[in-house]
Amino acid sequence: MKRNYIGLANSFHDSAIAIVSNDGEVLFAEASERYLQNKRSIGIAPDLYMRAIELVNQYCDPDADIVLASTWSSELMREALSQLKGVDVDGMIASDMTPTFIRRQLSGQQFFFKSQLSMLKQPGHLLEYSLAYSDTWSKKNVESRYYHHHKTHAAAGCYSSPFDNALCAVLDGMGELSSFACYHYVDGTITEIGEINKDSRASLGLFYTTICETCGFDPLSGEEWKVMGLASYGKHDPELYSIMRAMIIVDDLMLKNPEQEELTALSGRLFARRRKLEEPLIQYADLAYTAQQVFTEVLFEFLCNLHGTGLSENLVLSGGCALNSSANGKIIENTPFENLHVYSAPGDDGNAVGAALLAFNQDNKNPSPARFMSPYLGSTMKQKSLDNVLQFSGLKTTRCGDEAPKLAANMLQQGKIIGWIQGRAEFGPRALGNRSILADPRSADVKEKINASVKFREEFRPFAPSILHEYGSEYFEHYQESPYMERTLTFKESVMNKVPGVVHEDRTGRLQTVKHEWNPKYYDLISSFYQLTNIPLVLNTSFNVMGKPISHSVEDALAVFFTSGLDALFIDGIMIEK
Ligand SMILES: [Fe+2]
């Protein structure tokens, strides 16, 4: 019997849905935030009513049964919740005797557990309801399966990797009973190394969350990026270092906290350095820098221990901590691993793909071989909406067809800032040339211009380069391929003055490697820009304004275009000008 596998990332943040074919191909993957245009879709189930059945009708085979694969094993989660029983959390939060920083931490944990429990109660129920009322699907078997949270992270990373043998580290905020897990991946099989549900609440992800809050940012809004951006302006602070380095201990393949009394004292000292919102951000650059330093040290120590198992020279890194592109870029130089793979969606959204592929592999003894997985798995722009723009909007539009990359490159060379939308949306947080805002990297002023008039965000936020693979070694020290903009590397001193628009304060850039076979039109655009300027890279930032997800529809894109300083917008070969 044929089966389609629907992966549901049902964490209370970054929910997502993925659909995998009977042959193991990922047909579709998208975070709910895109369709809803609600950043990170906090507290929202992935099987959005109406939307999920629309996707099933579009991508599933009417002759196939359906497997719903969820990204939390509900029994373990209930066990975690039961551990809280007997602890008077509400009373401790309400008590004046509890220090403020402890109250904040408890409130955060309570919010996490309560939100997660409500999501666990009904993974896929809305979709099952929709299927039951459908003429096509009501007679099909619908089976629900539940997978360990960390294993779905591992699956997304391992199955998308080019490796047939790898070690995999999952480092997360919190998943089931711990924040970390290690696996050995061999020819489609993912096996735990050691005990997976270790008795530890230590978490490198939650450490970064704490730093994010200490800097005055909001981690639930996904502002951890800002810590990374700010870190480049700071320097080592010995006092902060001694506090933070003592908060997490690496012990073989475990993370541990110090004794509770010591941890409380350290947290108190850190909380005393918390930014008051009226204080200038830049004063906290040293905190961000030192925290990033501690994060990378802990990460490298853990990864060196993992390599010590001797099972592979290839590393797959997954979980929320794998979104730290700055640390990712330093792994090959600072650990014995020879190769690194980080999926385009290593966070919880990616687990939709992980769960669906685990379900597929459970049913198929000979899984499809490892290969590069395209990140272009999301929705397209609706042709009908584009036709309406052409026919009714009265806007200045031009059908450019195959000439679009050349025309776009020409505009960039003239200093214009353009929106570039084509084909299917990227899966994961990065715009990789299909939902992007592009600019000429040769101007130093372009950063300020885009932050002030297009993205409306802080002046310290950096911009990333998309570079033709052939020129990677010419521009970056210790160049590594970075297909998903997942790692940050250092620009060579000899080229940094050529492209100041994409060189961050510490001479780094979070690059996207572009190859023709991965994205031919985007490759052509950058090649055309190179022919005009002798520069093989462009500035690429995601097509959104601060606080909003990447645009999902033609209507979303036009709203950004007309409420920002963008000069032109290309959507699937149609150019719209102001
Ligand atoms: Fe996770």
CA 31–ligand 1 middle distance (angstroms): 14
Domains 165-342 and 383-577 share a fold: no
d(CA 352, CA 15): 8
Placement of tokens 């001193």 in the chain: 493
Q: How far is the CA of 25 from the centre of ligand 1 (A)?
A: 23
The domain spans of the chain are: 3-72+123-160+352-363, 165-342, 383-577
Residue 183 alpha carbon to ligand 1 centre in Å: 15
pLDDT of residue 370: 55
pLDDT bracket for residue 106 (50, 70, 90): low
Q: Given the structure tokens 């230590």, which residue do they identify?
A: 202
CA of 121 to the centre of ligand 1 (A): 18
CA distance 135 to 59: 16
383-577, which class in CATH? alpha beta
Q: How far is the CA of 327 from the centre of ligand 1 (A)?
A: 18
Average pLDDT over residues 130-159: 90
Report the amino acid identity of residue 412.
L
Give the separation between CA 373 and CA 102, rounded to whole angstroms: 43
Distance 347 CA to ligand 1 centre (A): 6
**pLDDT tens digit string along 302-359?**
999 999 999 999 999 999 999 999 999 999 999 999 999 999 999 999 999 999 999 9
DSSP H helix total and E strand total for the chain: 21, 21
**Coil, helix or strand for 393?**
coil
- Look up residue 285 and give its amino acid: A
Three-state DSSP state, 443: coil
Q: Where are the alpha helices (DSSP H) in 282-342?
A: 285-307, 325-328, 331-334
Which CATH homologous superfamily contains domain 165-342?
Answer: ATPase, nucleotide binding domain (3.30.420.40)
Q: Residue 290 C-alpha to ligand 1 middle, in angstroms?
A: 25
pLDDT in tens, 365-413: 776 655 668 999 999 999 999 999 999 999 999 999 999 999 999 999 9
**pLDDT (tens digit per residue) in 494-528:** 999 999 999 998 899 999 999 999 999 999 999 99
Q: Which residues have CB less than 5 Å away from ligand 1 (the ion)? A: 172, 175, 348
pTM score: 0.93
CATH of domain 3-72+123-160+352-363: 3.30.420
